[in-house]
């Protein structure tokens, strides 16, 4: 087996809760708890789950914006936490990100030219002419023209701004893009355009994506593999078709039944009651058992083991293990 | 190129609004007079307080002495005019020095946080614990009278406000996704601070600084008035007022004209600061343009 582009093993991120004058630690928010995943070259992996499930925290750990509490993250087989100097710069160039709200991810005081040229100037050696040409080429790749170079973010529409953010992300010729809810701040009509753009860029540039989203309709469209998370834990992971055709975990089933389907008159909705429990004191056993429609006695006692439905499809649920 | 355009927009916005325009004219006049006064005062020796002329004591305003003369027979107009130079130096000196101390402390404390941040902000709080004018008086009295000492004393009582303000703004700005975007592009921390954090966190502090120009002039005048500011015979406005108040019953002009100068200048700075705040923000700008009925 070849080495994965990015491999995450047992990643944990606990945020301490400090109280009082001297910052005594009263407990931890277990945002991400023993999550493993890997992304191969030219692969699109989707991380799915409701808000608070730890998806974005994983992205921040990968981008070195947060320090993981425990676990290993390997880029081309090497531990990224240990990267320094030129190695770190190479990793930074290789892994870029597109964030949810383009108006917050673009500096409002910079023109599009300044926004796009900053990473390039910092990482590549280009003459003034080359830089200008490269900026035009980047804009063309994301479907904008040179007239945008002079504009400021507040003069752009949401879709245009997100295109600029994507242009910035691909400006360093990365291998992997972390897409953190790339379409959820946009209008529905624009969402499709941005998704098409991302799909095209992936083929053109041979990119891998880690797509983080709660929007399942875009997951089906673009991803090779899906990982379903709940309260910082992986519930189910598998190939896109496997999960869509035969979701095994009750949580995945509930999540997928919420996708509006224009062909079914009477949707067979599975609705969950209540809010997700607090990640400060996650329920013992299976984290989902408090809201699971099929929960049995063992679910509240012991954490479920891994059940392999196929070589690629894994579920963490007692229902399948009991059989 | 773009930065040029932005400044032109700000300027045109200020000119379009009559109140901002008046304030701009007042401040421009003040700055112009402040710079030119040492060369143009009609009676330079009176202005600098080098001579006195007993025969000309307490002359009321006339063509020869538009603001009258003071207790030592010196031309009040000359002294008030030269006073604008001193006020200009004091205002720029105090605010500049306070920003120079406050901004680095606030930005470093806000951006890096942790122990360094806590330490820097607790020091700032210690300064904030004193009533500012009292602190300035104590410092000015300790350092002794003189222009430079007055500026230092006021700046020391002034910087904690700027540190606090930019600290809060820095804390907001550093959580913005565009800072994360810069980090993942490998931009070094110092560059992020100078290119992203400071430009985005600075506006409120600069507006406050512009607003404070007036107050700095006012406080300096106050310190000089109570006798811990500049030394006589320096024609500083506060000192001029304090020199004239005893004779207010029969020679009102000695107090009135320096007082008027202080009032107009402070008012001009305050109005201009308001106008600046509205037009410096690209997001507020569109609203102002709409209010003025201008098509962009």
Q: Region of B263 please: left (phi>0), alpha (psi -120 to 50) or beta.
A: alpha
**B177 neighbourhood in chain A, CB within 8 Å:** 99-101, 104-105
Determine the average pLDDT of the residues in A230-249: 92
Which residues on neighbouring strands pair with residue A306, listed in sequence order? A316
Per-residue pLDDT at A262 exceeds 80? no
Per-residue pLDDT at A293 exceeds 80? yes
Which residue from A105, A119, A154 is facing B177, i.e. has the nearest CB? Answer: A105
Report yes or no on A114 lying in a domain.
no
SS3 at position A56: helix
- Give the number of other Cβ atoms within 10 Å of residue B16's Cβ: 16
- Taking each helix axis from N to C terminus, what angle separates B76-112 and B253-280, rounded to the nearest 10 degrees? 30
- Residue A63: which of A28, A105, A95, A27 has the closest Cα? A95
Q: What percent of chain B has pLDDT over 90?
A: 60
Output the pLDDT for position A90. 92
CA distance B242 to B255: 8
Query: Is B180 part of the contact surface with chain A (CB cutoff 8 Å)?
Result: yes
Which segment of A229-238, B48-57, B182-191, B271-280 scores lowest on mean pLDDT?
B271-280
Domain span holding position B18: 2-291
The one-character DSSP state at B196 is I
Q: Dump pLDDT digits (tens) for B226-261.
A: 999 898 889 999 999 998 888 889 999 999 999 999
Output the pLDDT for position A314. 93
Sign of CA dihedral A296, A300, A305, A308: positive
Report yes or no on A286 lying in a domain.
yes
CA distance B236 to B147: 10
Domain span holding position A281: 246-323
Distances (CA, A) of B174 to A55, A56, B103, B179, B187: 21, 17, 15, 6, 14
Determine the average pLDDT of the residues in A36-61: 91
Q: What percent of chain B has pLDDT over 70?
A: 91
- Give the number of other Cβ atoms within 10 Å of residue A301's Cβ: 12
- Residue B275: which of B51, B1, B11, B72 has the closest Cα? B11
Structure tokens at A151: 């504009």
CA distance A72 to A259: 34
Element (H, E) at B133: helix B132-143
Query: How many domains does one find in chain B?
Result: 1
Would the CB atoms of A92 and B184 count as touching at under 8 Å?
yes
SS3 at position A25: strand
Determine the average pLDDT of the residues in B157-175: 95
Determine the average pLDDT of the residues in B211-219: 89
**A60 neighbourhood in chain B, CB within 8 Å:** 180
Per-residue pLDDT at A54 exceeds 60? yes
Report yes or no on A283 lying in a domain.
yes
CB A98 within 8 A of CB A180: yes
Q: Smallest CA–CA separation between B293 and chain A, in Å?
A: 19
Query: Is B181 part of the contact surface with chain A (CB cutoff 8 Å)?
Result: yes
- Which pLDDT band holds residue B296 (cuts at 50, 70, 90)? very low
- Which pLDDT band holds residue B1 (cuts at 50, 70, 90)? very low
Query: Is B178 part of the contact surface with chain A (CB cutoff 8 Å)?
Result: yes
Output the pLDDT for position A137. 95
Determine the average pLDDT of the residues in B223-227: 92
**A104 neighbourhood in chain B, CB within 8 Å:** 176-178
- Which pLDDT band holds residue A296 (cuts at 50, 70, 90)? confident
**A123 neighbourhood in chain B, CB within 8 Å:** 185-186
Determine the average pLDDT of the residues in B42-68: 87
**B175 neighbourhood in chain A, CB within 8 Å:** none
Q: What phi, psi does A76 have (nearest 5°)?
A: 50, 40
Report yes or no on B296 lying in a domain.
no
Q: Are strands A225-230 and A44-48 parallel, antiparallel or unpaired?
A: parallel
Query: How many domains does one find in chain A?
Result: 1
Q: Smallest CA–CA separation between B271 and chain A, in Å?
A: 25
Which residue from B185, B282, B283 is facing A119, i.e. has the nearest CB? Answer: B185
Would the CB atoms of B185 and A88 count as touching at under 8 Å?
no
CA distance B69 to B57: 6
CB A210 within 8 A of CB A62: yes
Which residues on neighbouring strands pair with residue A18, listed in sequence order? A25
- Tokens 């692969």 correspond to A43
Would the CB atoms of B180 and A65 count as touching at under 8 Å?
yes
- Residue A186: which of A161, A167, A209 has the closest Cα? A161
CB A4 within 8 A of CB A40: yes
- Tokens 């891994």 correspond to A306
Would the CB atoms of A123 and B185 count as touching at under 8 Å?
yes
CB B58 within 8 A of CB B76: no
Query: Is B122 part of the contact surface with chain A (CB cutoff 8 Å)?
Result: no
Report yes or no on A257 lying in a domain.
yes
Would the CB atoms of B180 and A63 count as touching at under 8 Å?
yes
How many interface pairs between A and B have CB atoms less than 8 angstroms apart?
70
- Tokens 């910092």 correspond to A122
What residue in B sits closest to A84 (Cα-Cα)?
Answer: B186
Report yes or no on B249 lying in a domain.
yes
Structure ipTM:
0.88
Would the CB atoms of A105 and B180 count as touching at under 8 Å?
yes
CA distance A174 to A138: 13
DSSP H helical segments within A171-239, as ranges?
188-205, 216-222
Would the CB atoms of B187 and A119 count as touching at under 8 Å?
yes
**B200 neighbourhood in chain A, CB within 8 Å:** 107-109
- Residue B9: which of B285, B292, B290 has the closest Cα? B285
Strand order in the sheet with A78-79: A24-39, A6-19, A70-75, A78-79
CATH of the domain at B243: 1.10.3720.10
């Amino acid at each position: 087996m070849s080495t994965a582009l990015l491999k995450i093993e047992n990643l944990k991120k606990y945020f301490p809760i400090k109280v009082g004058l001297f910052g005594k630690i009263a407990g931890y928010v277990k945002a991400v708890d023993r999550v493993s995943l890997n992304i191969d070259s030219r692969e699109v992996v989707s991380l799915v789950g409701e808000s608070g499930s730890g998806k974005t925290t994983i992205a921040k750990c990968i981008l070195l914006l947060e320090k993981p509490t425990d676990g290993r993250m390997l880029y081309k087989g090497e531990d990224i936490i240990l990267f320094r100097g030129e190695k770190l710069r190479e990793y930074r160039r290789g892994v870029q990100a597109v964030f949810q709200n383009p108006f917050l991810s673009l500096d409002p005081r910079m023109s599009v030219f300044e926004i796009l040229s900053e990473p390039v100037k910092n990482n590549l050696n280009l003459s003034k002419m080359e830089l200008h040409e490269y900026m035009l080429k980047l804009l063309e790749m994301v479907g904008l023209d040179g007239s945008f170079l002079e504009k400021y973010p507040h003069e752009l529409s949401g879709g245009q701004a997100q295109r600029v953010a994507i242009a910035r992300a691909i400006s360093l010729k990365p291998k992997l893009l972390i897409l953190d809810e790339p379409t959820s701040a946009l209008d529905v009509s624009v969402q499709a355009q941005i998704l098409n753009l991302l799909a095209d860029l992936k083929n053109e540039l041979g990119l891998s994506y880690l797509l983080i989203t709660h929007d399942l309709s875009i997951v089906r469209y673009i991803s090779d593999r899906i990982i379903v998370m709940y309260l910082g834990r992986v519930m189910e992971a598998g190939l896109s078709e496997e999960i869509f055709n035969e979701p095994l975990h009750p949580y995945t089933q509930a999540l997928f039944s919420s996708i509006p389907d224009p062909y079914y008159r009477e949707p067979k909705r599975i609705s969950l009651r209540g809010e997700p429990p607090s990640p400060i004191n996650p329920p013992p056993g299976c984290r989902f058992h408090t809201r699971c429609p099929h929960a049995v006695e063992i679910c509240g006692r012991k954490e479920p083991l891994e059940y392999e439905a196929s070589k690629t499809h894994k579920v963490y649920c007692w229902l399948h293990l009991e059989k | 190129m773009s930065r040029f355009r932005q400044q032109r927009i700000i300027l045109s916005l200020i000119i379009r609004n009559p109140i901002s325009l008046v304030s701009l004219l007042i401040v421009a006049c003040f700055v112009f007079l402040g710079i030119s006064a040492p060369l143009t005062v009609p009676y330079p020796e009176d202005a600098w307080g080098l001579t006195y002329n007993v025969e000309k004591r307490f002359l009321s305003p006339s063509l020869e002495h538009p603001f009258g003369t003071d207790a030592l027979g010196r031309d009040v107009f000359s002294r008030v005019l030269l006073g604008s130079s001193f006020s200009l130096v004091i205002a720029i000196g105090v605010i500049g020095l306070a920003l120079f101390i406050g901004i680095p402390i606030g930005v470093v404390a806000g951006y890096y946080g942790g122990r360094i941040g806590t330490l820097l902000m607790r020091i700032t709080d210690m300064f904030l614990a004193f009533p500012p004018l009292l602190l300035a008086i104590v410092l000015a009295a300790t350092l002794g009278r003189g222009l430079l000492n007055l500026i230092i004393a006021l700046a020391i009582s002034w910087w904690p406000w700027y540190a606090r303000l930019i600290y809060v703004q820095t804390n907001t700005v550093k959580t913005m996704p565009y800072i994360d975007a810069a980090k993942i592009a490998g931009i070094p921390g110092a560059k992020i601070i100078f290119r992203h954090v400071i430009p985005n966190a600075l506006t409120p502090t600069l507006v406050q600084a512009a607003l404070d120009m007036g107050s700095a002039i006012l406080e300096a005048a106050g310190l000089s008035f109570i006798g811990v500011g500049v030394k006589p015979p320096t024609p500083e406005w506060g000192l001029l007022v304090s020199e004239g108040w005893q004779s207010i019953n029969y020679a009102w002009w000695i107090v009135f004209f320096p007082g008027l100068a202080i009032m107009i200048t402070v008012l001009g700075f305050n109005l201009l600061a308001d106008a600046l705040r509205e037009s410096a923000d690209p997001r507020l700008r569109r609203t102002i343009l709409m209010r003025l009925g201008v098509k962009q």
